[in-house]
Amino acid sequence: MTALVVALAVAVLLLAVLVAGLLRSHAEILKALHELGAGLELDRSGPVPVTIDGVRTPRTGGGDPPGSISGETLDGESVGISLTAGTPVLLAFLSSGCTTCQAFWAAFADPHVQVPGGARLVVVAKSLSEESPSALAVRAPQHVTLLASSAAWEAFSVPGSPYFVLVDGAGRVVGEGSAATWPAVTTLMGQATADDRRPAREQRDEQALAAAGVHPGDPSLQGGAP
Amino acid sequence: MRLEHGGVVVDLPAGWEARARTQPPSEPGRTGNLLLHAATVPLPSARGDFGSGVVETLAPDDVFVSLFEYDAADAGRALFAARGLPVPRPSDFSTAVLQRTQLDHSGAQFFFTAAGRPFCLHVVLGSHSRRAAGAATVGRLLVRTTIGAKP
């Protein structure tokens, strides 16, 4: 009987320690969520907005992107590339050590890699003082320009790798973001290019209508039988 | 955009791309010489000293510039008697000054010494018939180029 009581007491003690541990870890999770800005707000309904450091908000037009980038190649060349030369440029910000980047290094090894919008592909790694030149040399495709430039990462506020920025021939960013695969990137950048062309098409249509004497608000634009 | 390599500074105009490197020494014990390429088209990593691999891609309004440094010992030779980086005029260009004759391409070549360093400036225009505009484009680059002492 005494042995049973002792065993039960030990079991209760162990369970108490377990519950205390769970409560403590739960409190730490709640504290972390609170620090991220997702703490409980009982007087507020709907989803709780969460801001996580490192995930950027979309570019809103403030802070113009640079018209050029400069850096060095793996063989010690100093390189300056204009982003306003009339040809769109897709900047692929990659790292040698990032796991997700490996799919892109492999995709760019294909000499016939299709770049959305007919853009020129430029791979931008961090400066060689922050990267592994030997690891980059193994991964770097022969037919694609690879530029090591931490300054370019800063200039485009790149949050991490992989990250892609599509710049039109006038130095304007028409699309940027990240994805896990090259087909996903081509789809996203293709959409960005198409969306960017849309206002120009609409403007052209409006000009054609204006030339024909049809202006905004014209009754003929309202549809229906004449 | 400012590109600096081996004592040469180029403030690249918009629309230009440039690459500069230090060549391996011509003889053991000597310092390597500068090779700077600039063009209004993308510069591939594999290209010849005087533009093979690049000039084939020039459109009529495009230009290619190569600044090739020779050994310092050559600075006293008559070939490099001219002083300072030249700025080519349209009349300096000829279809004969090319490694390989390209369709309507035009070239000019100058040997000179600047900051005690002997150089060859080799320029290729995409179109001989549009050399006035091409020479002006090249001029916009060269007036922004400064050659200093070898580091």
Question: In order of start, what are the domains of chain A with their CATH numbers?
Answer: 68-206 (3.40.30.10)
Answer for the pair A123, A103: CB distance below 8 angstroms, yes or no. Answer: no
Answer for the pair B92, B122: CB distance below 8 angstroms, yes or no. Answer: no
Q: Determine which helix (DSSP H) or strand (DSSP E) holds B22, and give its type and residue range.
A: strand B17-22
Q: What would the mean pLDDT of A59-86 be, rounded to a whole number?
A: 82
Closest B-chain CA to A76 = B21
Query: For chain B, which ranges sit under pLDDT 50?
Result: none
pLDDT digits (tens, 9 = 90+) for A81-109: 999 988 899 999 999 999 999 999 999 99
Contacts of A195 (CB under 8 A, 6+ apart): A174
Assign A42 a pLDDT band (cuts: 50, 70, 90). Answer: very low
Verify whether the Cβ–Cβ distance A73 to B45 is below 8 Å: yes
Predicted confidence at residue A65, as pLDDT, reads: 67
Residue the block writes with tokens 């080519």: B88
State phi, psi for A184 to the nearest 5 degrees: -65, -40
Asked whether residue A46 carries a pLDDT value surpassing 50, the answer given is: no
Q: What would the mean pLDDT of A55-60 be, rounded to a whole number?
A: 46
Answer for the pair B145, B112: CB distance below 8 angstroms, yes or no. Answer: no
Predicted confidence at residue A193, as pLDDT, reads: 79
Answer for the pair B126, B59: CB distance below 8 angstroms, yes or no. Answer: yes
> How far, in Å, CA of B70 to CA of B67, rounded?
10
Nearest by CB to residue B42, choosing from A69, A73, A120, is A120
Give pTM, 2 decimals. 0.73
Nearest by CB to residue A68, choosing from B12, B41, B42, is B12
Predicted confidence at residue A28, as pLDDT, reads: 81
Asked whether residue A201 carries a pLDDT value surpassing 70, the answer given is: no
**3-state SS assignment for residue B142:** helix
Average pLDDT of chain A to the nearest whole number: 81
- Looking at residue A165, its amino acid is V
> How far, in Å, CA of B49 to CA of B67, rounded?
9
Predicted confidence at residue B102, as pLDDT, reads: 63
> How far, in Å, CA of A43 to CA of A75, rounded?
61
CA of A87 vs chain B CAs: smallest distance (Å): 9
> How far, in Å, CA of A158 to CA of B99, rounded?
43
Say how far residue A47 (Cα) sits from the centre of its chain: 24
The dihedral sign for the CA sequence A170, A174, A177, A181:
negative
- Of residues A121 and A205, more confidence is placed in A121
Say how far residue A152 (Cα) sits from the centre of its chain: 15
Predicted confidence at residue A60, as pLDDT, reads: 45
Q: Domain residues of chain B, as ranges?
A: 2-22+32-147
> How far, in Å, CA of B124 to CA of B140, rounded?
15
B7 class by beta-carbon count within 10 Å (0-12 exposed, 13-18 middle, 19+ buried): middle
The mean-pLDDT minimum among A6-10, A48-52, B6-10 falls in: A48-52
Nearest by CB to residue B17, choosing from A67, A80, A142, is A80
Asked whether residue A34 carries a pLDDT value surpassing 70, the answer given is: no
Q: Determine which helix (DSSP H) or strand (DSSP E) holds A153, and give its type and residue range.
A: helix A150-155
**B15 inside 8 A of chain A by CB:** yes
Please give the structure tokens belonging to residue A198: 């849309």
Assign A58 a pLDDT band (cuts: 50, 70, 90). Answer: very low
In a mutagenesis test of the A interface, which of B8, B10, B17 is the best target, namely the one with the most A β-carbons within 10 Å?
B17
- Of residues A160 and A56, more confidence is placed in A160
Contacts of A32 (CB under 8 A, 6+ apart): none
pLDDT digits (tens, 9 = 90+) for A111-139: 889 898 889 999 999 999 999 999 999 99
